[in-house]
Amino acid sequence: MLPENDLWILSFYRASEITGALFFGRLARSLKPNDIQRDLTKHFCDEACHAWYWTECIERLNAKPLKLPNAYQDKYLEAAGIPVNMMEVLAVTQVFEQRVISQYSIHRQVPGLQPEIKETIERIMRDERWHIEWVGAALAKMEKKYGTDLVESTLHRFRQADRQVYKKTVDEHGQRIQDLMKLRRR
Ligand SMILES: [Fe+2]
Ligand SMILES: [Fe+2]
């Protein structure tokens, strides 16, 4: 049986992947077809699959996903402000994706992790690596238009918001994610 805290965190990941899929899907729908829209299409497809993998994983562990209020990303936008152009969207995405991959890689190291969870994390991490890659490349191209300094300072602003939201989440849910906290590096 899946311990309650584990069910909570898997449901948290699932809700966050659903929110990501919707965010990138809406964004793709609003853009004209170009390289960014192409990659965003694969991106929202991946995030939707991740939500499904967590759903499947929770079922394989004989549980049902929990309904959780407020996705993590909403708190992000509250802390960092709504991105005002494509460069800012990519910057916040880059920072967020780095957080996701670091969270999954910490979780993968939890001693005695159920094989279903480990497999799911590893499957998802392959896609998340590509997310960081394509967004990083698209951001680098934008430096011509926006200037390296502005791109850097935007990333810096979102990183500060990211640390703040992550810390707040850990403080709020410390009991639930005890095992992960023991492994937390930053
Ligand atoms: Fe994902
Ligand atoms: Fe992602």
Q: Among all ligands shown, which has an atom nearest to the Cα of 42?
A: 2
Full domain range(s) for residue 166 = 4-183
Mean pLDDT of 171-186: 69
In the chain, how many domains are there?
A: 1
Which CATH number belongs to the domain containing residue 122 in this structure? 1.20.1260.10
Per-residue pLDDT, 186: 45
Instruction: Please state, as a whole number, how many other Cβ atoms lie within 10 Å of the Cβ of residue 32.
Output: 6
* Ligand number nearest to the C-alpha of 97: 2
Chain segment 65-93, per-residue pLDDT in tens: 999 877 787 888 888 888 999 999 999 99
Measured from the Cβ of residue 90, the count of other Cβ atoms closer than 10 Å reads 25
Q: How far does residue 17's CA lie from ligand 1's centre (Å)?
A: 5
On the question of pLDDT at 166 being above 80, the answer is yes
The whole-number pLDDT of residue 69 equals: 77
Q: Are 66 and 7 in contact (CB under 8 A)?
A: yes
Write out the two tokens for 181. 């906290």
pLDDT at 179: 65
